[in-house]
Amino acid sequence: ASTLGASAAASGRYYGAAVAAYKLSDSVYSGILDREFTMVTPENEMKWDATEPSQGSFSYGSADQIVNHAVAAGQRIRGHALAWHSQQPGWAQNLSGSALRQAMVNHITNVAGHYRGKIYAWDVVNEAFADGSSGARRDSNLQRTGNDWIEVAFRTARAADPNAKLCYNDYNTDGVNAKSTAVYNMVVDFKARGVPIDCVGFQSHLNSASPLPGDYQANLQRFANLGVEVQITELDIAGSGTAQANDFAAVTRACLAVARCAGITVWGIRDTDSWRASSTPLLFDGNGNKKAAYTAVLDAL
Ligand code: XIL
């Protein structure tokens, strides 16, 4: 096929992009979005600071814009992210203990409830594990409410939107390492105890100057073997030219080789849209032209 979305669909997968609401009026941007992509993740618009700027008062304007655009274009939606230590509103940053726990539950109930029936998968919890070799949870205000905060978040999300797949999402979990193994052990535990979890997201913020983890595919596969879907959720690869194109192709092949790898989302459309714009990590250049990396992905799909 001649687009990312159609090529991914040939094997039952999606190809997605992170989208910013304020760019939808840019016709070059939305032209590429609607031509190439079959899944959309709001880049910032569903985060806690955006959706509940003051406690108990919910604001869905920008997120709804993206959802409405996606529905009109026949794209599905990944919700991102219900519970995360970052991009919390100031009022939540100042809470702790049972007040923060209650606020988290209320937030998830309201936001997942607002979008009930419209979300393919939610990143219920984002980035809850520490970097490095400890395998520990990341210290955060949410973690300090008690180690059970993650399972409470998942149970709350399930109740609010029973048809959405519920994902755990993180970075530096792209190969087999202490951090990904800690996430793996959490999934094993959740499955054993009946805590709802359907998918694991691998952000995959990568750099073509360092080798891709050689066990990238094996890592996806070990999670898939637990019975969860795996998704590449925020792919971008710093670099340019052949090195970047080869890494994009390798990530694509890894997903295709894992039956439960449901799809790939790139974290932006043009290099200039990227949160790492100076590293030119995406598939289209600033003018919206296809890069070598685009062709490599299309050929690999
Ligand atoms: C980033 C956005 O791309 C930026 O626009 C924002 O300023 C900060 O957050 N991991 C995640 C994403 O889960 O939500 C982050 O998105 C990138 C890292």
pLDDT digits (tens, 9 = 90+) for 159-204: 999 999 999 999 999 999 999 999 999 999 999 999 999 999 999 9
Predicted confidence at residue 74, as pLDDT, reads: 98
Task: For 141-228, list the strands marked E by DSSP.
Answer: 165-170, 199-202, 205-207
Predicted confidence at residue 45, as pLDDT, reads: 99
- Distance CA(212)–CA(135), nearest Å, equals 21
Answer yes or no: is the C-beta of 203 below 6 A from any ligand 1 atom.
yes
Residue 292 · residue 244 · CB < 8 Å: yes
* 263: nearest Cα among 218, 212, 214, 204: 204
Residue 293 · residue 251 · CB < 8 Å: no
Which of 275, 279, 282 should be mutated for ligand 1, with most atoms under 8 A from CB? Answer: 275
pLDDT digits (tens, 9 = 90+) for 55-88: 999 999 999 999 999 999 999 999 999 999 999 9
Q: How far is CA 24 from CA 65, 119, 163, 199, 252, in A?
A: 9, 19, 27, 28, 27
Predicted confidence at residue 98, as pLDDT, reads: 98
Answer yes or no: is the C-beta of 7 below 6 A from any ligand 1 atom.
no
Predicted confidence at residue 210, as pLDDT, reads: 95
Task: For the chain, list the strands marked E by DSSP.
Answer: 14-19, 39-42, 76-84, 121-126, 165-170, 199-202, 205-207, 229-238, 261-266
The confidence band for 133, taking pLDDT boundaries of 50, 70 and 90, is very high
Task: For 36-172, list the strands marked E by DSSP.
Answer: 39-42, 76-84, 121-126, 165-170
Predicted confidence at residue 201, as pLDDT, reads: 99
Which candidate in 43, 45, 229, 234 is catalytic? 234
Atom nearest to 233 CA in ligand 1: 13
Answer yes or no: is the C-beta of 274 below 6 A from any ligand 1 atom.
no
The reply to whether omega before 63 is within 30° of 0 (cis) is no
Residue nearest to atom 5 of ligand 1 (CA): 275
Whether residue 127 lies in the annotated active site: yes
* 217: nearest Cα among 198, 239, 232, 235: 232
Answer yes or no: is the C-beta of 44 below 6 A from any ligand 1 atom.
yes
Instruction: Give me 66's structure tokens.
Output: 């993206």
Answer yes or no: is the C-beta of 275 below 6 A from any ligand 1 atom.
yes
| Torsion angle of the four alpha carbons 154, 100, 178, 253, in this order, in degrees rounded to the nearest 10 | 50
Residue nearest to atom 12 of ligand 1 (CA): 43
Answer yes or no: is the C-beta of 204 below 6 A from any ligand 1 atom.
no
- 49-65 in b/e form (b: 16+ CB < 10 A) is bbbbeeeeeeebebbbb
- Distance CA(61)–CA(89), nearest Å, equals 17
pLDDT digits (tens, 9 = 90+) for 205-259: 999 999 999 999 999 999 999 999 999 999 999 999 999 999 999 999 999 999 9
Give percent of the chain with pLDDT exceeding 90: 100
User: Ligand 1 centre and the CA of 69: distance in Å?
Assistant: 21
Mean pLDDT of 16-40: 98
Predicted confidence at residue 35, as pLDDT, reads: 98
* 300: nearest Cα among 235, 264, 250, 227: 250
Residue 294 main-chain phi, psi, to 5 deg? -60, -50
Whether residue 234 lies in the annotated active site: yes
Predicted confidence at residue 110, as pLDDT, reads: 99
User: Above 0.90 for ipTM, yes or no?
Assistant: yes
- Distance CA(32)–CA(288), nearest Å, equals 7
Atom nearest to 268 CA in ligand 1: 3
